[in-house]
Structure 1
Amino acid sequence: MSGEFTNERFPKSALYAAGALIGIAVLTVGSIRVGVLPAPETAPESRARRQVMPAVSRDFRFEDRADGALLVTDVIANKLVFIFQPGTNTGFIRGVMRGMMRERRLHEVPRTGPVTVTQWEDGALTLEDKSTGRILELGSFGQTNRAAFAQLLVPYQKGGSGVPDQPIIPAMPAPSSAPFLSGPG
């Protein structure tokens, strides 16, 4: 190793600036925690303040079938309303539900309870687990993932068919020759 930098010193001003930045961050977070500063408003608090009402809301129970299908039951009607066949794009729904089941296990509440999917008048879509109090804003996961849950509410929208007579089996997505570049134009 050469001795070219043996007499160089790290600038003290950079250390002071980094220390000040860390100090400000710690003071800000601490002030919010103890109530000196107000916490940022959450999306549910914002909707309540603006008096945004649900456009449509439904309680569902999700279950994996032995063959890999995902079953969705309308809790109020006590009826199977969706069957996502094995191989369909249900990864996001399954991932969210696994996270919710893990949280239920941590809260020591039954894992069989329903979750509520709600489309709000302002366009927001939420998933709520009343047994744990967890609310997920599905729009924050991107349009494609949001659409995975939004399709569950289509029959219940104004002008929709209501509770389906037979379970809806969504079509398999068309295979793409360019899997990483597929999609509209």
Structure 2
Amino acid sequence: MSGARAHPDLVPRTTLIGAGALVAFALAATSIVRLAGIAPAASPVLLREQAHIAPVASRDLRFIDRADGSVVIGNARGGTVTVIAAGQKTGFVRGVMRGLARDRRARGIGDRPPFTLTLWRDGELSLTDTATGRTIELSAFGPTNRATFAALLPAQAPGT
């Protein structure tokens, strides 16, 4: 055999240099943020707490799946708030609740603890899992998706 290689390089050298530079930049940026003591962005929950923003309306809800594919949304104190029929266009509600239910299953938590839906004085709407403490800011998903959850609040809630 001659001095030639048995197989060519699989990754071009410039690509490897670029990848190394990207990793070095990421490490440098992370180090600068940590050393400079730059605080992470505050969560909406923390910001509301610091600004003493009070709730305007709140309701504890349970979401129960039926065998026919429908979802019963009930008041945690008893009674049905609404029923989402199978096939009804409510993908946002189902998607949010599917994610929260997955989190509960991973932690070994059943469906008994309620979720708290809260309308805040600043107009924001949030859904909190009372079992895990996880909060979803529903206003972030646009007015149409927000309205699907706002409709679950008591009728006298202003701004819904």
Query: Judging changes above 3 Å, is the alpha-carbon distance between structure 1 residues 60 and 28 closer, same or farther for their aligned structure 2 residues?
Result: farther
Query: Judging changes above 3 Å, is the alpha-carbon distance between structure 1 residues 58 and 15 closer, same or farther for their aligned structure 2 residues?
Result: closer
1:129 — aligned with what? Answer: 129
1:26 — aligned with what? Answer: 30
Number of aligned residues = 148
Unaligned runs of 5+ in 1: 1-8, 161-185
RMSD of Structure 2 on Structure 1 (CA)? 3.0
Amino acid at match of 2:53: V
SS at 2:119 equivalent: strand
1:146 — aligned with what? Answer: 146
Q: Is the 8 A contact 2:127 2:135 kept in 1?
A: yes
Query: Judging changes above 3 Å, is the alpha-carbon distance between structure 1 residues 28 and 104 closer, same or farther for their aligned structure 2 residues?
Result: farther
2:109 — aligned with what? Answer: 109
Q: Map of 1:60-79 to 2, 5 A cutoff?
A: 60-76=61-77, 78-79=78-79
Amino acid at match of 1:22: A
Query: Judging changes above 3 Å, is the alpha-carbon distance between structure 1 residues 51 and 18 closer, same or farther for their aligned structure 2 residues?
Result: same
**Cα distance, 1:14 vs. partner?**
7.1
Query: Judging changes above 3 Å, is the alpha-carbon distance between structure 1 residues 154 and 89 closer, same or farther for their aligned structure 2 residues?
Result: farther
Query: Judging changes above 3 Å, is the alpha-carbon distance between structure 1 residues 24 and 152 closer, same or farther for their aligned structure 2 residues?
Result: same
SS at 1:63 equivalent: strand
**Cα distance, 1:156 vs. partner?**
4.4
TM-score (norm 1): 0.68
2:81 — aligned with what? Answer: 81
**Cα distance, 1:21 vs. partner?**
2.5
The alignment-based identity, stated in percent, is 38
Q: Deviations over 1:20-71 (max 9, x none)?
A: 5322333156x28xx9432221101110111100010100001122222221
Q: Is the 8 A contact 2:73 2:82 kept in 1?
A: yes
Amino acid at match of 2:73: V
Unaligned runs of 5+ in 2: 1-12
Output the CA distance in 1 between the equivalents of 2:64 and 2:19: 54
